[in-house]
């Protein structure tokens, strides 16, 4: 579940390791930072973004640890950076 922490910034906290997936809203869609750990969590996040009508336009990993570079097909084919 996404919760707003600032204007245009939403966070989803993983239940597994308490990592945060961060969503930064823009005019064309969202930047998704460290999208999650489990497939179910990322699918839930993708669903939340669909409900908001916000496509993922870019993904970003803060560092190359396994729990920050994962992605889910339902998040789309946005370019990813790190």
pLDDT tens for 16-65 read 777 889 999 999 999 999 888 888 888 989 999 999 999 999 999 987 77
Contact, 17 vs 23, CB < 8 A? Answer: no
Output the pLDDT for position 68.
67
Output the pLDDT for position 67.
66
Residue in the block written with tokens 């600032």: 6
Domains and CATH numbers, the chain: 3-81 (3.60.15.10)
Coil, strand, or helix at residue 19? Answer: coil
């Amino acid at each position: 579940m996404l919760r707003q922490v600032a204007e245009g910034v939403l966070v989803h906290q993983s239940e597994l390791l308490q990592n945060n997936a961060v969503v930064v809203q823009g005019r064309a869609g969202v930047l998704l930072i460290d999208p999650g750990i489990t497939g179910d969590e990322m699918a839930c996040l993708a669903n939340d973004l669909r409900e908001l009508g916000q496509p993922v336009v870019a993904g970003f990993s803060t560092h190359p640890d396994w729990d920050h570079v994962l992605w889910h097909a339902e998040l789309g084919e946005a370019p990813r950076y790190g």
